[in-house]
Structure 1
Amino acid sequence: MKRAGIIGGLGPESTVDYYKLFIDKYQQRVNSRQKLPELYINSINMYNIFQFISENEIDKLIDYVGKAAQQLESIGADFIVIAANTPHIVFDEVRKQVDVPMISIVEATYERTKEMGIENAGLLGTKFTMEHDFFKEQFWKHQEKITVPSEEQQAYLHEKIVEELENGIVKEDTKKDFIQVVNQMVEESGIDGLILGCTELPMILKEGDVSIPLINTMEIHVDKMVEQVFREE
């Protein structure tokens, strides 16, 4: 059985959810509550990530996340995931720094949208995820549409993600505002699926809150982790 390595702390709330969901899905796979997967978590500081991106210090970002991956590899991780969307800005560069496989949340999410038949996906996340192209490029290179909110809405969503959701705070007023943003994207841009491109977003947006399917990047990522555990090379 392969051992997972998780780069976590990005933020802590979703790292806990990754851990619990990975165990749950693993136990479903083996049909036993008496068995557990083996894994390592290297918890780093999400605020360092935000600072490096804000100051356009991409080399420092690569080095910071890359060292976290190398540490997991050195202690025996057979594959590695970054338990957040935003740090995937440098995923390709980090992947080159280790010899074990790394599973991309962006690639996995694109595959799922294709399976679902989504033709114009909406993307919510931190401002870094929405304003940079690393997520959108996965769709563009396949001539697929992907839509983000307005710059003003991006700033608001980012503020609420960082100040509230990253700290485990869910407010009803914030949820109403998020739903309003999504409804506007449906009406004005015709999105037919919504990518929850921040692993804290499932805390506030649930299936049925809006008229279109929600695409939970964390759950998709964890599904790939479980597949990797049992994959024969």
Structure 2
Amino acid sequence: MRKVGIIGGIGPEATVDYYQSIISKFQEKIGSKEELPELFINSINMYKMFRLLMNGQTEEVIHYLTDAVQKLESVGADFVVMCGNTPHIVFDQIQQKVQVPMISIVEETCLKARELSLEKLGLIGTKFTMENDFFQKPFISHNIEIVVPNQTEQEYIHRKIVEELENGIVNKETKEGFLTIIAEMINQNGIQGIILGCTELPMLIKNEDLTIHPLNTAEIHINKIVDIIFEDQN
């Protein structure tokens, strides 16, 4: 069985979800509660990463995350995932510096959008995810348009993610605010789906809350991880 290395702490709530979901989905797929995948978790400091990004210290972010991946590689991880969307801003640079293969949450989400034949999507997440083009690049290369909220809305979303969701706080008013922003993107931009580009967002926004396709990046990523483990198991 291949061993999974997880860069956790980005954020903590998502780390718990990845751990529990990988186990439950693996057991469901293999048909046994007496089998477990082998996981390594290296939980790092999300706030340190955010501070470096805010200060434009991209090289320091690359070094910080590369070191985290190499630690997982050194203890025997066969492949590594980062349980957050924001650190994928430097995914390519990290992969070039390590030997262990990494599974990108961005690439897997793009594949899912293509499977659904979606052509125009909204994207919400941290300000780093919405402001930068690392998430949009693979979609654009497949002729899928990505729309993000306006600057004021981006600041609001980012603040609520960092202050509330990253700390396990689910606020009804915040949910209503996020859904209002998504509704405006549907009405003004004609989006066919919404990318939940922060792995804590599913705590707040559920599939039944939406009238368009939800692209839950955490769930998509986790399903891919389980598929890799299961294929190797057989």
2:194 aligned residue: 194
1:157 aligned residue: 157
TM-score after normalising by structure 2: 0.97
1:58 aligned residue: 58
- Kindly indicate whether the alpha-carbon contact (under 8 Å) linking 2:26 and 2:230 is maintained by their aligned counterparts in 1: no
Q: Which runs of 4+ in 1 moved over 3 A?
A: none
Quote the sequence identity (%): 52
Residues 25-62 of structure 1: per-residue CA shift (max 9 Å, x gap): 11112111111100100000000111111111010000
Query: Does 2:215 align with 1:215?
Result: yes
SS in 2 for 1:122: strand
1:71 aligned residue: 71
Give 1:230 deviation, angstroms. Answer: 3.7
Residues 159-215 of structure 1: per-residue CA shift (max 9 Å, x gap): 000000000001101100000000000000000101100000000000121211211
1:34 aligned residue: 34
Unpaired segments of 5 or more residues in structure 1? none
SS in 1 for 2:97: coil
User: Which is further off, 97-106 or 197-206?
Assistant: 97-106
- Kindly indicate whether the alpha-carbon contact (under 8 Å) linking 1:79 and 1:102 is maintained by their aligned counterparts in 2: yes
Cα separation, 2, equivalents of 1:76 and 1:33: 24
TM-score after normalising by structure 1: 0.98
Residues 105-145 of structure 1: per-residue CA shift (max 9 Å, x gap): 00000000111121101101000000000001111122221
Cα separation, 2, equivalents of 1:97 and 1:76: 17
SS in 2 for 1:113: helix
Cα separation, 2, equivalents of 1:82 and 1:20: 15
1:110 aligned residue: 110
Cα separation, 2, equivalents of 1:170 and 1:143: 35
SS in 1 for 2:208: coil
Residues 83-104 of structure 1: per-residue CA shift (max 9 Å, x gap): 1000000000111122121000
1:49 aligned residue: 49
Cα separation, 2, equivalents of 1:230 and 1:54: 39
2:78 aligned partner, one-letter code = D
- Kindly indicate whether the alpha-carbon contact (under 8 Å) linking 1:70 and 1:97 is maintained by their aligned counterparts in 2: no
